């Protein structure tokens, strides 16, 4: 009976550590929606599509970089999560695709876009969003195995006209 109690205690401690790591450092998520195709692929069912490794640590100090693929709360429907590419941060002046206008990103805000512009609901529709909505960086596709690999941080060329105080990393 003593070994069963010891095993139960170790399992409980392991579960608590696992939950803490999942809540604070990393977690897995399944890609839904087509706004990030072809970079990330959504499935038509629960068992299809990319499974993503999320690094939640950058969110603690706003350590996100331009070009990162990020997970954020929807500004209009906070019960939903969105996956987008971080294009610009506060103080940046950027060109809006398909328009002749320049936008300066206000303090505490950022500009995010989906890689699949034809279907993405993003800053092109909503304008700059609060930086505090960013919760994690997508670092890898871990499933399916044939797509296993790093998710690259890529900033589209020619979009940033002038930089704010935060340097491009």
Active site residues: 35, 84
Asked, as a colleague might, if the bond just before 144 is cis with ω within 30 of 0, I would say: yes
DSSP state for residue 51 in the 8-state scheme: E
Distance CA(27)–CA(82), nearest Å, equals: 15
Other CB atoms within a 10 A radius of the CB of residue 59 amount to: 21
CA separation (Å) from 160 to 48, 68, 86, 88, 109?
A: 35, 15, 12, 7, 15
Tokens of 75: 């500004």
């Amino acid at each position: 009976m003593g070994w069963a109690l010891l095993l139960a205690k170790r399992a409980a401690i392991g579960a608590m550590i696992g939950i803490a790591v999942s809540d604070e450092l990393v977690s897995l998520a399944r890609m839904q929606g087509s706004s990030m195709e072809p970079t990330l692929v959504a499935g038509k069912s629960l068992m299809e599509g990319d499974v993503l490794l999320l690094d939640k640590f950058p969110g603690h100090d706003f350590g996100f970089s331009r070009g990162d693929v990020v997970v954020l709360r929807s500004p209009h429907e906070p019960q939903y999560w969105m996956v987008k590419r971080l294009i610009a941060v506060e103080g940046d002046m950027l060109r809006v695709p398909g328009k002749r206008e320049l936008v300066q990103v206000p303090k505490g805000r950022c500009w995010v876009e989906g890689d699949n512009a034809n279907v993405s609901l993003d800053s092109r529709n909503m304008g700059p969003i609060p930086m505090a909505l960013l919760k994690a960086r997508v670092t890898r596709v871990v499933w399916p195995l044939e797509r296993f690999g790093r998710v690259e941080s890529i900033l589209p060329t020619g979009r940033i006209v002038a930089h704010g105080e935060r340097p491009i990393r």
